[in-house]
Amino acid sequence: ETIDMRLLLLFAAPLADGFQCSGKFADLPNLALSGCAGTRLASRCLGISLRMRAGGGRDDDDTKRWLVSVAPAAPQIPKRRQKAAIASVLIAAFLNLLGFTMALPINVALRSHFGIGTGASFGSLSSAYPLGTLGALFLWPRLSDRAGRRPIITLSLAGSGIGLALQCWAISHGWSLKAFLLCRVLTGFSAGAGPVAKAYLADVGAAAGQLPKFMAWRDAANTLAFIAGPAIGGWLYQTTDSLAMVIGGAAAGSLMASMLIFSFVRDEDAEGVPRPKTTPAQAQAQANDTQMIAACPLGATLWTAVASVCVISALYNVGSSTFSAFFGPLAQLHAGLTVQGIGAAYTALSAISFVVSTTLSARAQQELGTVTTCVIGLVTTATGLITMGFLAATVPVAPYLALHRLGFWGAAALYQIGVPLFAPTVPTMLLKCVPAKRRGALMGLDEAMNTIARVVAPVLFGGLYATHGAMACLGSAGTAVLLAALVALLRRLVVLRSEYR
C-alpha cells in the first residue's frame, strides 16, 4: 500500500516542473522531469502500480534504482558561474559592511555635531540602527526561505543604501538628533542581507561539504571591511570635513552591492553543487569533526541547540557592541587620536583579525573542534575587554606612560584576535543542525537576538561609563562574554554526557 501510494503521487508529479520523492524515497536525488520524459515515467509508474496490485512488482530498493536510472538528473550548475555567485555574495558583504565601518571613526564627530556627552545619548548613536533591524530580521530571512535568497538580498541592500542617503540628507540639512536617529532606525529596517547571505553560503557550503570554509571566507570579507572602512571614513572626513560625505559614500557602497547581487547571483546556483572527492586526510578530519560536532553540538534537539547558540551569540554581541561604541572615545582620551587616527587604529586592529581569519580560524575548527574554538575565542575576547577597562580606569605614572599605552593597545589586539576565532563558529554550529528550508528564518532569529544585545548594551553600558567609569563599562561587557564561554562549555558537557549514556 505504501509503495502504491508513492507511485500514484509520482504519476501526478510531472504536471509540475519536477518532483522530489519523500518518505521511503527521501534519499533519491532531485529529478527534473518535463514534457515527454515526464509522461513516459508516469506511464511506467502506473504500470508498476497496477502490477503491484496484482501481487507482483518491484520492492523498494529495485524501484529506487529504476527511478534513478530512467529519470534525467537535475542539471549541474557551471562551476564558473557558481564561483562568480559566491564571489559576488562575499564582495557584496564587504561593500555593505564597509558603509558601517566607514562611520566608526566619525562617531566622535557626530557627538560634537549634536552636542552630546559620552553616556547613554552617545550610546544611542550605536543602538538606533540595530533597533530598526529587529523588525527586518523577523521579516526578510523568513521571506527568503519562500521567495528566494537573491531578491531579498537585493532589496535589502538597496533599502540600506536609500536609508544611508537619507541620513546623509539629515546631516547636511541640520536635522535634530531625534530625526537622525529615526533615519538610522529606518535604515536598520532594511538590514536583512546579512543573515540571508549567510543562508545562501550555507546552502552552497553544505552541498559542497565546505561549510566551515565558506563561513571563514565570509568572516574574512567582513574583516576586510573593518580594515578598509575606518581608514577610508577617517581620511574622507579629514579631507572634506563633512560627515555627510562619509555617510554618502557608505550609501553608494550598499547600492553597488545591491546591483552586484542582482547581476551575478541566482538562487539555482546554490543547487546541484558537486560534492568533491574526499582524500583520506579529509575523511579523517571529517571523522574527527563529526566526533566533536554531532549534528547539533550544543543540543540534542533542534530547539535546544538553536537556543544555546543564540544565547552565546547574544552575550558575545553585548561585548562586541560595547567595544564598537566606546573604543573611539577611549582611543581619543588615552592616546590623543584624531578622527583619522581612530580610523587608522581600527584598520590596524582589523588587519590582525584578518590574518587570524585567513590563517587560523578554519584550521582551529578542524583541529580542535568548533565548540573548543568558540570557547577559546570568547575567553580571548573577554580578556581583552576587561584588560582595556582596567588600563583605561588607571592613571599612569609619567615614567610608565608609554608602557601603559602599549598595554592598552595590546589588550585591544587581544580582543581582535578572539573575534575571528569565535565569529565563524556561530553560523557553523547553527547551520549544521538546521534544515535547508529553515536556514533563513533561524539565521534571522539568531541575528534578532544579537540585535537586541546591540540595542541594549551601548545604552546600558554607556550609563555605566558615565556614572562609574571605563572599568565598570568594559569590565561588565567582558563578563558577559565570559558568561557566553561558560554557557558553551556547560551545554557541550550536557550533550556529551547524554551521548555516552
Q: Look over the chain and give the mean of its residue pLDDT values, rounded to a whole number.
A: 77
pLDDT in tens, 241-289: 899 999 999 899 999 999 999 998 887 766 544 444 444 444 444 444 3
Structural domain of residue 128, as residue ranges?
Answer: 78-272
Note the pLDDT of residue 42: 52
Point out which residues pair with 19 in neighbouring strands.
31
Residue 31 lies in a domain: no
Q: From the CB of residue 399, how many other CB atoms can be counted at a distance below 10 Å?
A: 7
Query: What is the CATH number for 484?
Result: 1.20.1250.20
Same domain? For 139 and 174 the reply is yes
**Pair 258, 319 in one domain:** no
Residue 373 lies in a domain: yes
Cell of 8: 500514484
Highest mean pLDDT, choosing among 25-29, 53-57, 312-316: 312-316
In a domain, 127, yes or no: yes
Burial class (CB in 10 A: 0-12, 13-18, 19+), 280: exposed
Which of 222, 239, 272 is the last residue before a domain boundary? 272
pLDDT tens readout for residues 338-374 = 888 888 888 888 889 888 888 888 889 888 988 899 9
Cβ–Cβ < 8 Å for 333, 117: no
- Does 66 reside within a domain? no
Residues 6+ apart with CB under 8 A from 323: 385, 415, 474, 477
Distance between start and end Cα atoms, the chain: 38
Distance separating alpha carbons of residues 347 and 235, to the nearest angstrom = 12
**215 and 110 in a common domain:** yes
Looking at the structure of the chain, the number of domains it has is 2
The phi-psi region of residue 34 (left if phi > 0; otherwise alpha if psi is between -120 and 50; otherwise beta) is beta
pLDDT of 59 higher than 60: no
Residue 164 maps to a domain: yes
Is 191 in the same domain as 318?
Answer: no
211 and 307 fall within a common domain: no
Which contacts of 68-71 are long-range, i.e. CB under 8 A and separated by 24 or more positions?
68/28, 68/29, 68/31, 70/40, 70/41, 70/44, 71/31, 71/33, 71/37, 71/41
Tell me if 131 is assigned to some domain.
yes
Whole-structure pTM value: 0.61
